[in-house]
Structure 1
Amino acid sequence: MAADEQKRPPSDERERHPDDDGGGAPSTAHGGPEPRPARDGRPRGEDPPRGDEPPPLPDAPPAVPAAAPAATENAAPAPGARTPDDLVPGDRLPGDRLPDDEIPDDEIPDDERSRRGPRWLRWTAVGAAVLVLGASGAGYLTFRTLDGNITSDANTAEELQRYDADRPARGPGAARTVLIIGSDDPSSLPGAVGGIGARSDTVILLHLSGDRDRATALSIPRDLMVDVPACTGEDGETTPARRAQFNWAYSFGGASCTIRTVEQLTGIRLDHHLDIDFAGFKELVDAVGGIEVDLPEAVRDHHTELDLEAGRQMLHGDDALAYVRARKGIGDGSDTARIARQQQFLGLLAAKLRSSEVLMNPGRLYPVLTTATSAITVDPGLSSLPRLYELVSEVRDVPDDALRFLTVPRVNDPDDPDRDVLVQPDADELFKQLRWDQPVTLESSGAAAPGGVLAPEGAENRPPAGQGTP
């Protein structure tokens, strides 16, 4: 049903009373109002006078029925009869007419009963219609609200169009590749130094095979040294092409520069992108009720202001964000460990979003949908609720054992141990398999994420299938 048809009230249809006989006239059964006379003085429904029969004289007085004998004040009531003095609230005298909806079904004539139908069925139908219309209206308004929350990144689409001739060719068949960007403005985060602009703290390349039988979520480390192309920022200034740390691309030119950097690095054409900021991530974790972790030891990280005791606990909001951002104060302090922890945390968040605790709880589901749609910025190809739902459904339908979490093969940069470089030819082989929609053969370490993230309830404490770094 089109949206304008769904919200149009049925004002062009005449509302009928439940006792309406289908022609619009009110029922006259059981003492109802007499038919209104026609304009020529005939009762409605009476045949007009024939041509050989004179019409009644207009001045002929109507027949007056014989008056009933007047009752005398002193007349004794019939034996057993009740008088007005005997009535209590709710009682009626013998001659009083019952309302139509109080007449017992066994007292309704057969022809009238067949025309009206069972009373309970009529009122049930009316009630159901009201509920359906109400639910449809609420559902439509909810849809419009959620759909309107989504931000479309038209500027990125325009910028990518300018460089379309330099971008890789599209992959084969129905395969889809989506770049998921977790962005932040460091100046707004605890312990951060201002003045360096927003950066992509987390970037995941999500590849869905054409048959949707497998999916690969490939993390690209923020510290990986890459070739960043010339990019234009929001201020209109163009930065020259340079070799730089990967997450700087977002600072140079936002999502479009990050997309072009990834495409240049991998040779994979990206079909869509989805950008979620850290404020949205915090709100989403709160909306699902938090994510549980079990820390083997206390964590103190001054950079993210993370301060957690050892043991099992539920993380919400700021603590959840600090937990996935922390690096120096948790685990072995490496970016490798942090990426593994982020992957597992996101996997648990996705599992909770799909759980009955959220999906079957309207009080929690609507805030989750509101938060999720408000927190994301997407390309125009995903900027509607049905298109986002289609993408989520495709990811959801991938078998659990066919969803792999990987990180690009890399090692510490010989020139700077705080930076990473690709491991070749492993990286190029991985990119080629994804580019041509082939099964990924790269082996993963399968190492669990340090820091104590819990597996979903009922499962062993291990990372999602295929998770790890080579």
Structure 2
Amino acid sequence: MTDGSSSRSSSRIPGRGGRRGARGGGRRRRRATAVVAWSAAVLVLLGGSGLGYVYVKLDGNLRGIDIDRILGRDRPADVDNGSEDILVLGSDSRAGANAVYGDDGGGARSDTAMIIHVYPGHRKASVVSVPRDTLIDRPDCAGPGGGTVPGERLAMFNTAYEVGGAACAVKTVETMSGIRMDHYIEVDFTGFKRLVDELGGVRITTTRPIDDAKSHLTLAPGTHTLDGEQALGLVRTRKSVGDGSDLGRIELQQAFVKALIEQVGRIGLFSSPKKLYDLADTATRAITPDSRLDSVKELIGFAGGLKEIDTRNLRMITLPVTYDPADPNRVLPIPAGAEQVWTALKQDKPIPASATKDSAGDPGEAAGTVVGD
């Protein structure tokens, strides 16, 4: 795809499968880092006011990735109409403090990806979650050590980050959607847990019991304030909700991020300078942005323009998918549904309900298990 092109290559993979039961043969690798991506969404959406007085001290926490340099000109057109598109990614590296969550089997992978489309005027946004097991056409990518990593047909979406890092993940999303990503934000596993703790926990309400031995989380129906460890457990949960799949887990994550945004608005960040500094310190340590957001001053300008967006103006969906008839542990994009999603975002329109009508992910049995309080 050349610069300035409006063409797209999304939803090229045919095939539709029926819904399945609980996902079998799950890997030992836990998917807690899906929520790490959600925490980046909160940083994007809560606004940057109040961080300016410490930005010099906090700049040292940030290390940017020059996505524009790596990808060059082979990208969709850069549309300058007041909208913005941000790829938020959580990686599952078990390096450093993350080692407590188990061996990653070699190399980091992306657990959950969210494409955030901010509409002109910056008062509304749509979020499209891309399941990590979605089979897509991965494009050729620049290798992390130089050279080119060949593309692959019917590759799992999360392999893009594995083989080519952040830039390959961005290129894969742009190839799927035909939409240029204005920004990239990656969030650290352990950093997310600390962020939740710095916020004093997140209050949620469960409408049915959750008892998941794999995620080590047990919650009775009712209202709970989750600390960082419990929050990670919640978004790891899949066996005890819905059909036991990653798609159900995404629905839990979508409910949790709304509760997290509400918690940010509830606690009063300016009541304590120390609280504000500790939160800013934790947040900036938790993220790796693109090189145009790699200073607190830049983050303040970026996030400050988004502070009018709240949960009432935030629409979250999962990319329309169907289970792969050849492998029930994988999903395939539904061409017609994906087309509606990408077209709506390109035209700055709301995503129509018809886009997810026959999707395995929206709505699912897990919907409604967790609601904000």
Residue 397 of structure 1, aligned match among 303, 308, 312? 308
Structure 2: gaps of 5 or more residues: 1-50, 357-361
In the other structure, the counterpart of 1:221 is: 131
TM-score, normalised by the number of residues in structure 2: 0.76
Aligned to 2:140: 230
Shift in Å at residue 401 of structure 1?
3.3
Seq. identity, %: 35
CA distance in 2, matches of 1:447, 1:158: 40
Tell me what 2:287 maps to.
Answer: 376
Tell me, in whole angstroms, the C-alpha distance in 2 between the residues paired with 1:451 and 1:438. Answer: 26
Give how far 1:392 is off: 2.2
SS of the residue corresponding to residue 420 of structure 1 reads strand
Matches of 2:351 and 2:367, distance apart in 1 = 25
User: 3-state SS of the aligned residue for 2:132?
Assistant: coil
Query: What's the RMSD between the two structures over aligned residues?
Result: 2.6
The Cα of 1:143 is off from its aligned counterpart by 2.4
Higher relative contact order at CA 8 Å, sep ≥6: structure 1 or structure 2? 2
Distance of aligned partners of 1:325 and 1:309 in 2 relative to their CA distance in 1, 3 Å threshold: closer
| Pair 1:291-2:202 in alignment | yes
8 Å contact kept, 1:151–1:374: no
How far 1:356 sits from its partner (Å)? 3.9
Instruction: For 1:230 and 1:140, locate their aligned partners in 2 and report how far apart those are by CA, in whole Å.
Output: 40
* 1:31-430 correspondence runs (5 A): 142-154=54-66, 156-161=67-72, 164=73, 166-185=74-93, 188=98, 194-236=104-146, 238-243=148-153, 244-295=155-206, 296-302=208-214, 304=215, 306-311=216-221, 312-398=223-309, 400-430=311-341
Q: Is the CA contact (8 Å cut-off) linking 2:58 and 2:296 kept in structure 1?
A: yes
Shift of 1:376: 0.8
Question: Structure 1 residues 446, 394: closer, same or farther in 2, change over 3 A?
Answer: farther
TM-score, L = length of structure 1:
0.61
Distance 2:119 2:195 in 1: 28
Moved more, 139-148 or 432-441: 139-148
Structure 1 residues 233 and 280: alpha-carbon distance in aligned structure 2, compared to 1, 3 A threshold: farther
SS of 1:440 mapped into structure 2: coil
CA shift at 1:273, angstroms?
0.5
- The answer to which of 174-183 and 360-369 deviates more is 360-369
1:140–1:377 CA distance, 2 compared to 1 (3 A) = closer
Contact 1:182 1:277 in 2 (8 A): yes
Q: How far apart in 1 are the matches of 2:125 and 2:313?
A: 6
Residue by residue over 1:291-311, the C-alpha shift from the partner in whole angstroms, topping out at 9 and shown as x without a partner, is 234443242333x4x242424
Kindly tell me: are residues 191 and 289 of structure 1, through their superposed partners in 2, closer, same or farther at Cα, counting changes over 3 Å? closer
2:11 corresponds in structure 1 to none
The one-letter code sitting in structure 2 at the alignment partner of 1:391 is F
**Distance in 1 of aligned mates of 2:363 and 2:242:** 16
Per-residue deviation, 1:333? 0.9
How has the CA–CA distance of structure 1 residues 210 and 307 changed in structure 2, closer, same or farther, with 3 Å as cutoff? closer
Q: Is the 8 A contact 1:217 1:405 kept in 2?
A: yes
Contact 1:224–1:421 (Cα < 8 Å) also in 2: yes
Q: Distance in 1 between matches of 2:225 and 2:297?
A: 32
Contact 2:92 2:104 survives alignment (8 Å): no
Task: For structure 1, list consecutive stretches of 5 or more residues without a partner in the other structure.
Answer: 1-138, 457-470
Structure with greater Cα Rg: 1
Q: Is the Cα contact below 8 Å between 2:210 and 2:220 reproduced in 1?
A: yes
